[in-house]
Amino acid sequence: MTDIVTGANPGTVSQQAWLGRYTEVMMNAFGTPSRVFVRGEGTQIWDADGRQYTDFLSGLAVTALGQAHPAVLAAVTAQLSTLGHVSNFFATPAQVSLAERLASFATVNAPGTPAKVFFTNSGTEANECAFKATRLTGRTRIVAMGGSFHGRTMGALAVTSNPKYREPFVPLPGEVVFVAYGDADALAAAVDDTTAAVIVEPIQGENGIVDPGDEFLRAARRITAAHGALLWIDEVQTGMGRCGDWLASATSGVTADLVTFAKGLGNGFPIGACVATGAAADLFQPGSHGSTYAGNPVAAAAALAVIGVIERDGLLAGATERGERLAAGIAALDAPGVVTVRGRGLLRGIVLRDEIAPAVVARLLEAGWIANAPRPSVVRVAPPLIVSEAEIDRFVAAFAVALDAASAAGQEPA
Ligand SMILES: Cc1ncc(COP(=O)(O)O)c(C=O)c1O
């Protein structure tokens, strides 16, 4: 790959040199990255020093089809060479076609329910959009979940529970109250006729892949309906096939008033969406919201290609099967350091007995495997949906080695 402006090949500059330049010029919001990646193909990624890795994180649950998928490349190239961008004074076929698909996903449990879409460029913006829609109900009170993560804009942060993220930025838009995730009684007690919306993730990814079960979503639906409040389900991390369905919440039988998507939607092309169903679909009127890039046709074409390949290659069922293989493989290790494997489909959290998940992830990286640790005792595994059974089996073996090494290091005297 050659830099189009300078003609330089970034692969000829060492990783250390790139990291030096990174720290000089990039805001220190992410800390110093551990690797500089220059190329990818399918589940494989290469760093600037030529080392190869297998991606079991998918750029944080994004690249469902892996790197450089031919269908995404073809769709993006065709759209970009036909029509790359128009303002939202105008419509494009890609945007309309994608909205139709997302509307049908959001109403899978109530086909025929009207549903309308607002496109965004990210997950936080999708939630920001939903937040604004809730204000148009005439109510302002929101009930959110302990352990939640919904993004970093001020609105999305207001419904995110982690004090580390919130506190430097108070005051945030209110009024938001938090209840224990999975506690239907606490939720019932917190929601009243002044509540605009309840926001909930079907599985909390950033909190360590915590799944409260479908009954909690059903309770949330009953409670919100009883008080005329909106149910706002954040499928940014869990949706688009990651958990084995287009929506992880689909298995609950629930239809939300607001559903937000991003991450896996564009396979890395920045796109998100807020889908509103039923009466909520008409909350926005001209002037309520806007965004220059919303529904960009190239991003929409990428997303249509993702949906097409997931359907063509049976990747929803594949995510369930591969996820079960992974969980069974980890369980079969019978490792004393592993408590359990949480999650669904290919969004999995390997829960460790000790708080050594960052050390395990570091050992995995050294061995050529990308994963992460959303909590000190949880290793998150979210490979591309195209991952093979053989790769899953190799990961399980690599995980066992990394866990042993990290456990042994943890027992050494300081
Ligand atoms: C459930 C959930 N909602 C929202 C977001 C924010 O998405 P983005 O980083 O695209 O703004 C994330 C990101 O991790 C997420 O996991």
Is 123's C-beta closer than 6 angstroms to any atom of ligand 1?
yes
pLDDT in tens, 233-252: 999 999 999 999 999 999 99
* Closest-CA residue to 99 (of 120, 115, 111, 117): 117
Is 380's C-beta closer than 6 angstroms to any atom of ligand 1?
no
pLDDT in tens, 205-222: 999 999 999 999 999 999
Domain regions of the chain by residue span: 10-63+314-411, 74-312
pLDDT confidence of residue 4: 53
In this structure, are residues 395 and 54 in contact, taking their beta carbons and an 8 Å threshold? yes
Work out the average pLDDT over 67-73: 98
Of all residues in the chain, what percent are helix, strand and coil, respectively (each to 5)? 40, 20, 40
Token output for 302: 């990428």
Q: What is the CATH class of 74-312?
A: alpha beta
Q: What are phi and psi of 187, to 5 degrees?
A: -65, -45
Virtual CA dihedral for 328, 332, 333, 335, nearest 10 degrees? 100
CA of 287 relative to ligand 1 center, distance in Å? 26
Is 211's C-beta closer than 6 angstroms to any atom of ligand 1?
no
Is 232's C-beta closer than 6 angstroms to any atom of ligand 1?
no
Per-residue pLDDT for 39 more than 90?
Answer: yes
Token output for 306: 């993702």
pLDDT confidence of residue 202: 98
> From its phi and psi, is residue 187 left (phi > 0), alpha (psi between -120 and 50) or beta?
alpha
Is residue 9 very low, low, confident or very high in pLDDT (cuts 50, 70, 90)? low
C-alpha 394/C-alpha 272 separation (Å) is 33
Q: Return the ligand 1 atom nearest residue 262 CA.
A: 10
Is 237's C-beta closer than 6 angstroms to any atom of ligand 1?
yes
The pLDDT > 70 percentage for the chain reads 97
The amino acid occupying position 364 is L
* Closest-CA residue to 49 (of 38, 33, 41): 38
Q: Whose CA is nearest to atom 10 of ligand 1?
A: 123
pLDDT confidence of residue 391: 98
pLDDT in tens, 103-144: 999 999 999 999 999 999 999 999 999 999 999 999 999 999
pLDDT confidence of residue 411: 75
Work out the average pLDDT over 90-111: 98
Burial class (CB in 10 A: 0-12, 13-18, 19+), 321: middle
Pocket probe mutation, ligand 1, options 129, 145, 150, max atoms within 8 Å of Cβ: 150
C-alpha 43/C-alpha 314 separation (Å) is 18
CATH no., domain 10-63+314-411: 3.90.1150.10
Domains 10-63+314-411 and 74-312 share a fold: no
Residue 382: count other Cβ atoms within 10 Å of its Cβ: 33
Work out the average pLDDT over 55-81: 98
Per-residue pLDDT for 8 more than 60?
Answer: no
Strands (E), 166-205: 176-179, 195-200
In this structure, are residues 100 and 304 in contact, taking their beta carbons and an 8 Å threshold? no
Is 149's C-beta closer than 6 angstroms to any atom of ligand 1?
yes
Is 271's C-beta closer than 6 angstroms to any atom of ligand 1?
no
With tokens 């004074």, the residue in question is: 89
Is residue 2 very low, low, confident or very high in pLDDT (cuts 50, 70, 90)? low
pLDDT in tens, 301-358: 999 999 999 999 999 999 999 999 999 999 999 999 999 999 999 999 999 999 999 9
